[in-house]
Amino acid sequence: MSGDGSWRRVSREGRRFLRGRPRPLRRLALWSLLESAHTFLGGYAVARALDDGFLAGRTGTGIGWLAVAAAGALLGALALRGVFGGLADLVEPLRDALVRRAVHRAIERAVADPGRAGDPGAVSRLTQQTEMARDSFAGLVLIARSFVFTALGALLGLAALDPVLLPLVVPALLLGTVAFLATLRPMARVQRAALDADEALAARTGELAAGLRDVVACGGGASAGARVERLVAAQERLTGRLARWAALRTLSLGVAGRLPVVVLLAATPWLLGRGVSAGAVAGALTYLLQSLLPALDALMTAVGAAGTRLLVVLDRFCDPEPAGTGAGTGAGTHTRTEAGTARTTPVPAQPAQAASAPASAPASASAPAVELHRVRFAYGPRAHPVIDGLDLVVGTGEHLAVVGPSGIGKSTLTALIAGLLPPGRGTVRVAGAPARGARGTAPAAPTCAGRCCPSRRTSSPARSART
């Protein structure tokens, strides 16, 4: 993963997305201010309940301040209810935009290069990755917003209790946070590699499923399975690396979440000696334990898991690959046939090769480009023929797309025309001359190279027809 490049791409798209939705953002901010008030009242009311109430012998006053803290909790619940309404106005448009982009990119690539095999990764992006992005974005926005406004209320409360509390708490929080941020980039790299492996595995298994009959027929199951096993092993290794980085993230989380409390407790005698009240110290601990540290814990967990995952997934939707130029300047076309689907893509003619071709006999000058007469072929003396009684004439300059499911003889036909296989009966001529392969010899067993493996593509000239 190119960390800086990915961040620039995603942040640019993210800013554009958020700028177009000012009303949901304002709604989130307004409801979140109530959460800040809830946080502020939580610690401040505890401090006043101790200093002005219980420690001063005024129990009623202490209970009154605790009632204020309880009212703040109800205020926070009301704020959370409003926050979820604004969150939906951000999350669902994001998912819709990602789905549209995935579909648009898949169609654009197919139109730009019709001869190109379908992109199996498009299915993963359209289903799994869009849902992953929606869930990660929703969780990240919810938790990041909560941390920002909770921290605002807690820091204002610490300053209101006694400004000397801030230098004791803030540096310890920053130390743990910096240690945590140091794990984000390598963890994002591993996360992206895991997604690449997932798409590669999906693509490979899809290819094997499409050409399973050919793979079994040519005895290529072992070699085809070995490639899948390597991809599965790669996924396993990446999962282990993710687990190790998660352990380091948990360690930094412990530093950020526990060190401020330790520092505050260790400094309590010094604080009391400087005139800081016991209620202020208790209020500071309340801010740390009840508000600030849980919010920081949730933020680090969300950024470490959902944040890196969101960055990697959204980067896959940014800056689509330049569309290939399928049109050429010549008059020829190239026909690709794979897994039952044939597509034609114009390619440049090659005048240099045509000019250097040796002169043919007068008879071959007018001969068809390809001619098959009553051709029969089977992969064994007792096997059912793949091609039986085929007559086919393809004139010079004509092109044929052979379309059909796996196993109907597309690759076998190409191999016969190319001279890689001899016909069991009949004749195969190319430009008036017999195709290579002696007639009457035992046909060689098909190999995976170029015919059975669905990841390869087969080319064949012919008329626009279906067989």
Judged against a pLDDT cut of 90, whether residue 61 lies above it is answered with: yes
Q: What average pLDDT does this structure show over 212-238?
A: 81
Question: Where does the pLDDT of residue 7 fall: very low under 50, low under 70, confident under 90, or very high at 90 and above?
Answer: low
pLDDT at 46 (0 to 100): 92
pLDDT at 118 (0 to 100): 59
pLDDT at 337 (0 to 100): 34
pLDDT at 45 (0 to 100): 92
Per-residue three-class SS string for 44-86? HHHHHHHHHHHCCCCHHHHHHHHHHHHHHHHHHHHHHHHHHHH
Helix, strand, coil abundance in the chain, percent, nearest 5: 65, 10, 25
Amino acid at 451: R
* Kind of pairing between the strands at 333-338 and 458-459: antiparallel
Judged against a pLDDT cut of 50, whether residue 332 lies above it is answered with: no
pTM of the model: 0.52
Question: Where does the pLDDT of residue 293 fall: very low under 50, low under 70, confident under 90, or very high at 90 and above?
Answer: confident
3-state secondary structure of 442: coil
Range scoring the smallest mean pLDDT among 91-95, 174-178, 268-272 = 174-178
Query: Which of 158, 159, 144, 152 minimizes the C-alpha distance to 287?
Result: 158
pLDDT at 6 (0 to 100): 64
Question: Where does the pLDDT of residue 115 fall: very low under 50, low under 70, confident under 90, or very high at 90 and above?
Answer: low
Q: What average pLDDT does this structure show over 275-296?
A: 89
Query: Which of 436, 226, 187, 389 minimizes the C-alpha distance to 306?
Result: 187
Question: Where does the pLDDT of residue 121 fall: very low under 50, low under 70, confident under 90, or very high at 90 and above?
Answer: low
Judged against a pLDDT cut of 50, whether residue 158 lies above it is answered with: yes
Query: Which of 392, 379, 387 minimizes the C-alpha distance to 429?
Result: 392
pLDDT at 120 (0 to 100): 62
pLDDT at 362 (0 to 100): 44
How far is residue 32 CA from its own chain's centroid?
31
pLDDT at 308 (0 to 100): 66
Per the structure block, which two tokens stand in for 298? 């949730």
Q: What average pLDDT does this structure show over 230-243?
A: 85
Question: Which segments of 127-220 does DSSP mark as H helices, in order?
Answer: 130-161, 165-181, 184-210, 212-217
% of the chain beyond a pLDDT of 70: 79
Judged against a pLDDT cut of 90, whether residue 196 lies above it is answered with: no
pLDDT tens profile 449-461: 333 333 333 333 3
Q: What average pLDDT does this structure show over 92-108?
A: 82
Question: Where does the pLDDT of residue 200 fall: very low under 50, low under 70, confident under 90, or very high at 90 and above?
Answer: confident
CA distances, 193 to each of 7, 143, 190, 196 (Å): 16, 26, 5, 5
% of the chain beyond a pLDDT of 90: 15
pLDDT at 248 (0 to 100): 81
Torsion of CA 405, 411, 416, 420, to 10 degrees: -160
Judged against a pLDDT cut of 80, whether residue 351 lies above it is answered with: no
Average pLDDT, the chain: 76
pLDDT at 327 (0 to 100): 37
pLDDT tens profile 352-379: 333 333 443 444 457 888 999 999 999 8
Judged against a pLDDT cut of 90, whether residue 269 lies above it is answered with: yes
pLDDT at 94 (0 to 100): 83
Cβ atoms within 10 Å of 103's Cβ, excluding its own = 13
Name the DSSP letter for residue 331: S
The residue with greater pLDDT, 345 or 241, is 241
Question: Where does the pLDDT of residue 438 fall: very low under 50, low under 70, confident under 90, or very high at 90 and above?
Answer: very low
